[in-house]
Amino acid sequence: MTIDMLQKEFVARFGAGGTLHAFFSPGRVNLIGEHTDYNGGFVFPAAITLGTTIIARKREDGRIRMCATDLPDFVDASFDTMDAYKSLPWGNYQMGIAKALIQSGVPVCGCDLLFHDTTPHGGGLSSSAGIEIATALCLYVLSTGKQPDMREMATIGQKAENEYVGVSCGIMDQFASAMGKKDHAIFLDCKDLSYSLIPLALKDIRIVIANTNKKRSLITSKYNERRTECEKALAALQTVLPDKHYLGQIAPDVFEETRRVIANPTVAKRAEHVIYECDRVLRSAEALQNGDIAAFGTYMNASHDSLRDLYEVTGIELDTLVDAARKEEGCLGSRMTGAGFGGCTVSLVKCECVEAFQKHVAEAYTKVIGYAPSFYVTDAGDGGHQLF
Ligand code: GLA
């Protein structure tokens, strides 16, 4: 849908008059650095060009009314009952953002909002961060008439998801959605949110995302379980490394010297993944800056293998996609991206091989899993911004 069509749709749903504004915020693909963000480690995501567009108009009566182009839901919310919307199947993320903004001192105004999402829902490309950051930006601009610091919008997004929606996610998705830049990946140190934008000079190589199309279940509880295991590993390691506050601060050689203090072998495996994954992110960013895409691809492969064997968040669907991808000519590396347990993989594929890659991987996957994957050939896009 074009912006013109969306404006017409807005008027059809909410009526004419007043000044309309539009905002966009993308989903993300993480190139490498998985399950490291909540461990104060490194991540290396890029914003994609799919995302959430909002057409918005201010209201004077302090209500937030919202709907989406692809859903029948209509939410009419009041600031007097801010916690009443937590269990909404749609609209809870937005109300979590409104609450987090109010708590941070923003005098959030009433508004009518039409949402249009192009990121697949539940597909591991963080459609939720797109919604959160677009909402935060939109409410901030409508309420204050100023542009926000987008890094603050990222932390507002994470707070909403942690405290209102109840998912203990890290900062990666919201940060990538807020801070992405066209043709760049973001090297982010999650312990202090320092970051640099690194050009994705991929020359004749494309980023190919493949969606398992698996219906994910129990993902929140499994995700939170991994977080708890990491906390246990850190507590054990701190008995001999008292100055470390995050697993992401521990170098692989220091870990090898001290890992014996972690009694539970499963917990030790989780820590091993996180610590070596952070090291891979550092090396990958260096490889990219040196134009060594082949090395980048081998780190991606090693990342997936570690998520499969040590962190145990892949599953047959993601492993089948990755195995099929790696057999393809012109594929430099392939791994799961996002939380795992389904969702998407990301592969680096030579331009001239992209078509055959999709065909062969789809055939191999369908044969084993029984239904087809979907593909998105993507570029790195800009982070959240106002369209008008
Ligand atoms: C989800 C979370 C992120 C991050 C990834 C795993 O996408 O929202 O914070 O933890 O999983 O790397």
DSSP string across 57-123? EEESSSEEEEEETT---EEEEEGGGGGGGTT-SSSHHHHHHHHHHHHTT--PPEEEEEEEE-SPTTS
Q: Note the pLDDT of residue 135.
A: 98
Q: How confident is the model at residue 41 (pLDDT cuts 50, 70, 90)?
A: very high
3-class state of residue 247 by DSSP:
helix
Instruction: Please say if the pLDDT value at position 360 is more than 90.
Output: yes
Atom of ligand 1 nearest to the CA of 126: 7
Atom of ligand 1 nearest to the CA of 33: 12
Amino acid identity for residue 158 in this structure? Q
Q: How confident is the model at residue 215 (pLDDT cuts 50, 70, 90)?
A: confident
Q: Note the pLDDT of residue 68.
A: 98
Amino acid identity for residue 135 in this structure? T
Amino acid identity for residue 200 in this structure? L
Mean pLDDT of 128-132: 98
- Lining ligand 1 with CB less than 6 A are 34-35, 37-38, 126, 169-170, 172-173, 338-339
217 against 53, higher pLDDT: 53
Inter-residue contact 306 to 278 (CB < 8 Å): no
Q: Note the pLDDT of residue 121.
A: 86
Q: Note the pLDDT of residue 219.
A: 81
Ligand 1 mutation pick, 173, 229, 230, 281, max ligand atoms within 8 A of CB: 173
Q: Note the pLDDT of residue 122.
A: 80
pLDDT digits (tens, 9 = 90+) for 139-185: 999 999 999 999 999 999 999 999 999 888 999 999 999 999 999 99
User: Which residue's CA lies nearest to atom 9 of ligand 1?
Assistant: 170
Enter the tokens of residue 215.
């219906």
Atom of ligand 1 nearest to the CA of 30: 12
Instruction: Please say if the pLDDT value at position 247 is more than 90.
Output: yes
Q: How many CB atoms lie within 10 A of CB 328?
A: 21
Inter-residue contact 104 to 97 (CB < 8 Å): no
- pTM of the complete model: 0.97
227 against 379, higher pLDDT: 227
Mean pLDDT of 90-94: 97
Question: Which residues are catalytic, by number?
Answer: 173
Q: Note the pLDDT of residue 152.
A: 98
Q: How confident is the model at residue 15 (pLDDT cuts 50, 70, 90)?
A: very high
Mean per-residue pLDDT of the chain: 97
Query: What's the CA-to-centroid distance between 77 and ligand 1, angstroms?
Result: 29
Q: Note the pLDDT of residue 386.
A: 98
Angle at 29 between CA 28 and CA 32, to 5 degrees: 135
Query: What's the CA-to-centroid distance between 7 and ligand 1, angstroms?
Result: 33
User: How much of the chain, in percent, has pLDDT values that exceed 70?
Assistant: 100
102 CB-near residues (< 8 Å, 6+ apart) = 79, 82, 108
